[in-house]
């Protein structure tokens, strides 16, 4: 039988939807693969930075973030596979935007950021803010974000604070 999941995987139909508690393990895998393999320019394989960055990427922590009523977490899926994850606080801060390395450069993160911005607008936010990695810096600049002075982020890597008026 052709399930909705099988059809969307067969035809590469990507959808963005709210994250569910049962997505927590798959989201963790996206985060861990994305940080480890795509953000090497940021953590430089420094065990202290990488360890801190991955330290809170556990299914338990993810479940608590999914349940957090002051933020929203979205996933990009194809069939039953989670390809990317994004999260935004009601005040407009994007706190997560990560894609599986194998799903990179397919326009998924662009659609994810647009969906997060739409959620922020619905919640009354006038701006979106975020701390970009060096890896994603040019991506956000191309999406209309303006950058401020770089600083050392919470995991020890340099981050690029950015803001966009919605
Ligand atoms: C940067 C990243 C988020 C982009 O995700 P992606 O799904 O590959 O991006 P998309 O396919 O949606 O690309 C959208 C546009 O950005 C461009 N783009 C993507 N990654 C880029 C990069 N690193 N530098 C410059 N441009 C980039 C694409 O060419 C595309 O341009 P187009 O609209 O003119 O065709 C992702 O590749 C990545 O590196 N993630 C690592 C985790 C990370 O740093 N997340 C951000 C935390 S703040």
Convert the pLDDT of each residue in 147-160 to its tens digit: 999 999 999 999 99
The finding on whether 109 has its CB within 6 A of some atom of ligand 1 is yes
- In the chain, the percentage of residues whose pLDDT exceeds 90 is 92
The finding on whether 91 has its CB within 6 A of some atom of ligand 1 is no
User: Is the model's pLDDT at 42 over the cut of 70?
Assistant: yes
User: Is the model's pLDDT at 39 over the cut of 80?
Assistant: yes
Q: What is the pLDDT of residues 64-87, one digit of tens each?
A: 999 999 999 999 999 999 999 999
Distance 1 CA to ligand 1 centre (A): 36
Confidence of residue 9 (pLDDT cuts 50, 70, 90): low
**Across 32-47, average pLDDT:** 98
Q: What is the pLDDT of residue 99?
A: 98
Of 37, 105, 137, best ligand 1 pocket probe by most atoms within 8 Å of the beta carbon: 105
Domain boundaries, the chain: 4-165
**Overall pTM > 0.95:** no
Confidence of residue 3 (pLDDT cuts 50, 70, 90): low
- Cα dihedral 65, 67, 69, 73, rounded to 10, equals 60
User: Is the model's pLDDT at 102 over the cut of 90?
Assistant: yes
Using alpha carbons, select from 114, 133, 122, 121 the residue that is nearest to residue 74: 114
Contacts of 129 (CB under 8 A, 6+ apart): 92, 93, 94, 161, 162, 163, 164
Q: What share of the chain is helix, strand, coil (3-state, %, to 5)?
A: 45, 30, 30
Q: What is the pLDDT of residue 13?
A: 85
Ligand 1 atom nearest to CA at 130: 48
Q: What is the pLDDT of residue 10?
A: 61
What's the longest Cα–Cα distance across the chain? 55
Please tell me the CATH superfamily of domain 4-165, with its number: Gcn5-related N-acetyltransferase (GNAT) (3.40.630.30)
Closest C-alpha to ligand 1, atom 34: 142
User: Is the model's pLDDT at 11 over the cut of 90?
Assistant: no
Alpha carbons 21 and 67: distance in angstroms, whole number = 8
> Do residues 138 and 128 touch, judged by C-beta distance below 8 A?
no
> Do residues 56 and 96 touch, judged by C-beta distance below 8 A?
no
- In the chain, the percentage of residues whose pLDDT exceeds 70 is 93
Q: What is the pLDDT of residue 35?
A: 98
**Across 23-37, average pLDDT:** 98
């Amino acid at each position: 039988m052709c399930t909705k999941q099988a059809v969307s995987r067969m035809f590469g139909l990507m959808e963005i939807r709210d994250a569910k508690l049962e997505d927590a393990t798959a989201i963790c895998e996206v985060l861990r693969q994305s940080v480890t393999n795509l953000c090497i320019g940021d953590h430089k394989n420094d065990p202290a930075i990488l360890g801190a960055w991955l330290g809170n990427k556990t299914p338990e922590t993810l479940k608590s973030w999914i349940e957090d009523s002051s933020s929203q977490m979205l996933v990009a899926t194809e069939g039953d596979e989670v390809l990317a994850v994004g999260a935004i606080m009601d005040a407009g801060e994007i706190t997560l935007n990560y894609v599986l390395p194998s799903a990179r450069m397919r326009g998924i993160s662009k659609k994810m950021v647009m969906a997060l911005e739409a959620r922020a607008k619905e919640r009354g936010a006038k701006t979106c803010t975020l701390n970009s990695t060096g890896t994603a810096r040019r991506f956000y600049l191309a999406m209309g974000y303006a950058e401020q002075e770089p600083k050392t982020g919470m995991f020890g890597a340099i981050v690029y604070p950015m803001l966009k008026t919605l």
